[in-house]
Amino acid sequence: MPRPRDRILANLETIYREAYDRAKTAGDERRMLDLDAAYQREQLLLEVLLDVRDALTTPQHAPDVGPLAAIETIRRVTKLR
């Protein structure tokens, strides 16, 4: 079973937060800016990958509809025209 989205994003934030705090302690403002931009980029890429994962693992089929219900739907749609 895949790891939950929230857990993955929280792990990413933890990694960047620790590096950001180290840069802040060292007074390295350039590194802080670089880490902030990198975090935003990585978060966006990761969210896209998670969306793709979710789309591939979620069944995308129509609900089971019997033939009579399908015929009734077609009849109702054609009456609208």
For the full predicted model, state whether its pTM sits above 0.75.
no
pLDDT tens-digit series, residues 24-72? 999 999 999 999 999 999 999 999 999 988 877 866 565 666 777 777 7
**Cα–Cα distance, 19 to 53 (Å, whole number):** 28
Q: What is the pLDDT of residues 1-19, one digit of tens each?
A: 789 999 999 999 999 999 9
> Could you give the number of structural domains in the chain?
1
Contact 25, 35 (CB under 8 A): no
Structural domain span for residue 59: 5-80
